[in-house]
Structure 1
Amino acid sequence: MFDLDMRLNKVPEKVCSVHLMGICGTGMGALAGMLKEKGLQVTGSDTQVYPPMSTFLASLDIRIFQGYSPDNINHHPDLVIVGNVIRRENEEVRGLAEKNIPFVSFPQALKYFFLRERTPLVVAGTHGKTTTASLLAAILEHAGSDPGFMIGGIVKGFGRNYKLGQGPYFVIEGDEYDTAFFDKGPKFLHYQPHIAILTSVEFDHADIYRDLAEVRDAFRRFVQIIPSSGALVAHTEDGIVREVIKDASCPVIGYGEDKGLPWTLADCLTEGKGARFSVKKEGGFYAHFTSPLIGRHNALNTLAVIAVLDRIGFSPEAIQAGLSSFQGVCRRQEVRGIKNDVTVIDDFAHHPTAVHETLLALRAAYTGRRLIAVFEPRTNSSRRKVFQDDYAHSFDAADSVIVREPPGLENIPIQDRFSSRTLVEDLKTRGRTAYYFPDTDGILGFLKEHARGGDVIAIMSNGGFDNIHEKLLAIL
């Protein structure tokens, strides 16, 4: 265990060189790219140095040290940015402490270098952050606002998950996960939200939050830092959201399907691989919209974006033009390929609610086709039994369900472990067709034998799932 001098937890007056510990994470890699584009000398270290992130960083001429060591910062950078994957006992932290180099967390760095002179538009909530933030950034871009953004997924229209931009707005995905080993508060408390979206509040991140009360408290603190000159667009049909926002000092703009809300979604219908719906503002007709996104949940997320854009002065026509041009986000209902009339879809869904909504949307989009759900529970929450019972009700829209043994269970106390076998038995008890497999190869063998033309195979995991998507397309 190495103790850092918290007096050095700041950005020095002059910064020419930075070093990122944990540089190959999605957010840290993007931050490295942004700092490089800003003209700084950038280096980094990580134990997970592999494509595509390693290739991306190399293309920017950013040197990466394989593994962690005090020697990685012998060049004495002006500032070290410590990712939240870094633990206090990390050897490179020892070097940081011994060399007395100023250091900050990822959120602190993002705030200092990119948010201070912009208007932050922060998208927060248990679900839908990445898609909602991506949509907001894409419409602003299409409308000529040249926004900056930092998002947790690759936005297809940009081919990356960040952009510096020169316009007034900076769109950021507000994550409730902890900041760093020396700051256990949520990341989003650093982002200075001027206008925020709050999509939902549920229990998640069981490795850092003990219960729903702690999650509620984190979001309550976020709401309270929105200034009175800003605004919060909140899904106020949700009872927990209503509880979280009750002490907000800023204007609260509610949205949902309830006719009494300021912004209301109506007549939402799936059309092919998209949707159309009507929007009412303060009870009166606002506009009809068509969207390339499927599912009620995505229509509600779009409604939140519409409310934000309306508040900052965009017309319904400009919003629809940007919405029509939106190409989506990688790993969110993404069709990875079609082989012999079998459609393989990749989705990031892992929370029980996200799994449920994703499958409902796919069922509506692929009416009359067999929908096979393939699920890998691999998040810190889904590998724990906190959602053991909830998952049994998440797969009802699927015709059959395949569940893999969670990877990394050895890191979870035995009494806390999620059981894929138990989930499969619970699904069968509820009359669902379900199968358990200990590994990915078993799933691939089963699908090779049983998949048939017309099937839609929805693969859900927050990780790479052993590259199952490409392997499956190769053998179909």
Structure 2
Amino acid sequence: MGALAGLFKAAGHEVTGSDVAFHPPMGPALEQWGIRLMTGFDPAHLDPRPDLVVIGNVCRPSNPEARAAIDGGIKTTSMAHALADHLLRGRSPLVVAGTHGKTTTSTMCAWLLDQGGREPGFLIGGLPKNFEASFRLPQGPAGRGLPLAPGQGGGLRGTPFVVEGDEYDTAFFEKTPKFWHYRPEVAVITSIEHDHIDIYPDEASYLAAFRGFVERVPERGLLIAAANDARVVEVVNSAARAEVAWFALEGDDTHGMPPHWLAAPAGADASGQAFDLYAGGVFAGRAALQVPGLHNVRNALAAIAAAAQGYGVPLTTVVPALARFEGVRRRQDLLFEIGGVRVYDDFAHHPTAVDETLRGLRTRHQGGRLWAVFEPRSATACRALHQEAYERAFGAADRVVLAPLGRSEIPAEERLDRERIVAAIRGGGKDADAASSVEEIVGMIAVDARPGDTVALLSNGAFGGIYDKLRAALTARGAAAREVP
């Protein structure tokens, strides 16, 4: 919603936004983009009367501002339809979907297309480090409403518009997945693993959402899919009408699907991850990534396929551009280093994402202890759906600290059992604790973290302001140490 507001502002509209709070990094970014921010939900925010009200999927039917807009006859729509109807028409949508890796892969796609001269538009849920904002209007000919010559920008496709395709529901008045509405000409599926249990009560309903997405990629389109993921293979093979380009890492079980795009990891260190790239079985050069982890090699393969096969960007342009990709804020994002203790912020909350993130950080920092400090906050993370998976997800960490559950309304019998996770980790010979508060966590780190340690703060929310609190505590510790004679 924040990025969409920025897009409408860039298109010349006056834009206001209402929310309960405006946390960083998005809150300050919205102010910088010229969005007028209004705290809380109030019918008075609709004066003067707007031309259009975009209602986010977090809003419920009782939301006073949304209710006043609907009952007052103001034109209303959802985020998905606002994007599709006002910004995607006349463009070539490249929609990145999947349980994991959407934000990073979308950003990589936008970057490679940009460096390849395709001048894409994009709408991304995070804040890319290679761009000034998480959105941009298309800059190419089709973006200005002019015809695009055949063969330019990938055959007959127009100027690309990259969209991070979220499977969450559209709005309280339209219970369909958001990514069904984006009309992809090129689509990516990075992974499928049951998530958003508040929307999809079982795996079958979750798979059905992705099946509907695949069905919406037209015959003339291109679908780029992860061959290592059995659920992706099942969904794509049952529903695809478009050409399919499979991608995988060397050694993956590809479930009978021959990958056109293959990566052979070639070593990793503090500077990043290298891999050898193969296209159609032919060696296409050695590529390098600043962002660590094999999961990011998979993300890179998908983005390479989208840029090269989808829009005709030469691999001689793609490979060097990939090495200049800096990542996304809140994805293995180094916040600060104080007293030799490195503190990272990451959005990981699903157990698979937690595991991949920690493995990536362990590859980057092989010395010192790796702390995993995890806040279960999402509707899925706070439930026992992935109880056993969480017990295995922290294997790369040396020290694990679990914050209190971020949702109190979940029935006791459905809640994630933090103590059981702690017991399982301790049973494997590693240190683990279930903390009672953010302040207790900060105290643990301030007392026990040593120079050379890496602390990963894992949360898809504000984590109770732990970032500033930990910075202050480590700074105070360093000052106190300097005062000791």
Q: TM-score, normalised by structure 1?
A: 0.90
Distance, in Å, in 2 between the alignment partners of 1:453 and 1:43 is 45
Are the aligned partners of 2:70 and 2:76 in contact in 1 as well (CA < 8 Å)? Answer: no
Offset of residue 414 of structure 1? 2.0
Offset of residue 60 of structure 1? 4.5
The reply on whether 1:147 has 2:120 as its aligned counterpart is yes
281, 284, 287: which one aligns with 1:283: 281
Are the aligned partners of 2:287 and 2:320 in contact in 1 as well (CA < 8 Å)? Answer: no
**1:364/1:121 CA distance change after superposition, 3 Å:** same
Are the aligned partners of 1:71 and 1:95 in contact in 2 as well (CA < 8 Å)? Answer: no
Offset of residue 48 of structure 1? 1.9
Unaligned runs of 5+ in 2: 141-158, 252-257, 475-485
Distance, in Å, in 2 between the alignment partners of 1:114 and 1:271 is 41
Partner of 2:219: 228
- In structure 1, give the amino acid aligned to 2:399: S
How is 1:313-332 mapped onto 2 (pairs within 5 angstroms)?
313-332=312-331
- In structure 2, give the amino acid aligned to 1:119: S
Offset of residue 185 of structure 1? 0.8
Distance, in Å, in 1 between the alignment partners of 2:332 and 2:24 is 23
256, 265, 269: which one aligns with 2:248: 256
SS in 1 for 2:242: coil
- Name whichever of 208-217 and 69-78 sits farther off: 69-78
Distance, in Å, in 1 between the alignment partners of 2:41 and 2:367 is 52
**1:342/1:44 CA distance change after superposition, 3 Å:** closer
How is 1:200-211 mapped onto 2 (pairs within 5 angstroms)?
200-211=191-202
Structure 1 residues 57-100: Cα deviation after superposition (integer angstroms, max 9, x where no partner): 44454434332233332432222111111111122233223321
- Name whichever of 461-470 and 335-344 sits farther off: 461-470
Partner of 1:10: none
Distance, in Å, in 1 between the alignment partners of 2:397 and 2:196 is 26
The reply on whether 1:297 has 2:295 as its aligned counterpart is yes
Structure 1 residues 168-201: Cα deviation after superposition (integer angstroms, max 9, x where no partner): 1111100001110011111101111111111100
The reply on whether 1:39 has 2:31 as its aligned counterpart is no
**1:392/1:52 CA distance change after superposition, 3 Å:** closer
Unaligned runs of 5+ in 1: 1-27
Are the aligned partners of 2:112 and 2:304 in contact in 1 as well (CA < 8 Å)? Answer: no
**1:397/1:205 CA distance change after superposition, 3 Å:** same
Distance, in Å, in 1 between the alignment partners of 2:93 and 2:17 is 27
206, 218, 235: which one aligns with 1:215: 206
Are the aligned partners of 1:268 and 1:296 in contact in 2 as well (CA < 8 Å)? Answer: no
How many residues of Structure 1 are paired with residues of Structure 2 in the alignment? 448
**1:271/1:462 CA distance change after superposition, 3 Å:** same
267, 290, 295: which one aligns with 1:269: 267
Offset of residue 160 of structure 1? 2.0
- Name whichever of 422-431 and 106-115 sits farther off: 422-431
Distance, in Å, in 2 between the alignment partners of 1:257 and 1:47 is 43
How is 1:103-142 mapped onto 2 (pairs within 5 angstroms)?
103-142=76-115
Distance, in Å, in 2 between the alignment partners of 1:370 and 1:50 is 30
- In structure 2, give the amino acid aligned to 1:234: A
Are the aligned partners of 2:197 and 2:380 in contact in 1 as well (CA < 8 Å)? Answer: yes
Partner of 1:72: 45
**1:238/1:159 CA distance change after superposition, 3 Å:** same
Partner of 1:339: 338
- Name whichever of 37-46 and 98-107 sits farther off: 37-46
Are the aligned partners of 2:250 and 2:264 in contact in 1 as well (CA < 8 Å)? Answer: no
Offset of residue 396 of structure 1? 0.8
SS in 1 for 2:127: strand
Structure 1 residues 208-228: Cα deviation after superposition (integer angstroms, max 9, x where no partner): 111111111100100010011
Structure 1 residues 267-287: Cα deviation after superposition (integer angstroms, max 9, x where no partner): 332132311111112222122
Offset of residue 165 of structure 1? 2.7
Partner of 2:154: none
The reply on whether 1:465 has 2:441 as its aligned counterpart is no
**1:56/1:452 CA distance change after superposition, 3 Å:** closer
**1:320/1:281 CA distance change after superposition, 3 Å:** closer
Structure 1 residues 381-435: Cα deviation after superposition (integer angstroms, max 9, x where no partner): 1011111111000111111111111123x22122211122221122212332211
Distance, in Å, in 2 between the alignment partners of 1:317 and 1:470 is 43
How is 1:149-228 mapped onto 2 (pairs within 5 angstroms)?
149-167=122-140, 168-228=159-219
Offset of residue 467 of structure 1? 2.6
How is 1:12-31 mapped onto 2 (pairs within 5 angstroms)?
28-31=1-4
Partner of 1:23: none
Are the aligned partners of 1:228 and 1:250 in contact in 2 as well (CA < 8 Å)? Answer: yes
Partner of 2:406: 407
Distance, in Å, in 2 between the alignment partners of 1:63 and 1:306 is 37
SS in 2 for 1:197: strand
Offset of residue 51 of structure 1? 5.6
**1:251/1:152 CA distance change after superposition, 3 Å:** same
Are the aligned partners of 1:268 and 1:299 in contact in 2 as well (CA < 8 Å)? Answer: no
Partner of 1:24: none
Distance, in Å, in 2 between the alignment partners of 1:304 and 1:65 is 38
Root mean square deviation, CA, Å: 1.7
Are the aligned partners of 1:376 and 1:405 in contact in 2 as well (CA < 8 Å)? Answer: yes
Are the aligned partners of 1:140 and 1:322 in contact in 2 as well (CA < 8 Å)? Answer: no
Partner of 2:454: 456
42, 56, 64: which one aligns with 1:91: 64
**1:64/1:301 CA distance change after superposition, 3 Å:** closer
**1:199/1:89 CA distance change after superposition, 3 Å:** same
Structure 1 residues 27-53: Cα deviation after superposition (integer angstroms, max 9, x where no partner): x22212211221223233222246654
Q: TM-score, normalised by structure 2?
A: 0.89
Distance, in Å, in 2 between the alignment partners of 1:373 and 1:70 is 43
SS in 1 for 2:259: coil
- Name whichever of 278-287 and 452-461 sits farther off: 278-287
Partner of 1:369: 368
The reply on whether 1:427 has 2:429 as its aligned counterpart is no
SS in 2 for 1:438: coil
**1:173/1:370 CA distance change after superposition, 3 Å:** same
89, 97, 102: which one aligns with 2:75: 102
Distance, in Å, in 2 between the alignment partners of 1:236 and 1:127 is 15
Distance, in Å, in 1 between the alignment partners of 2:451 and 2:136 is 40
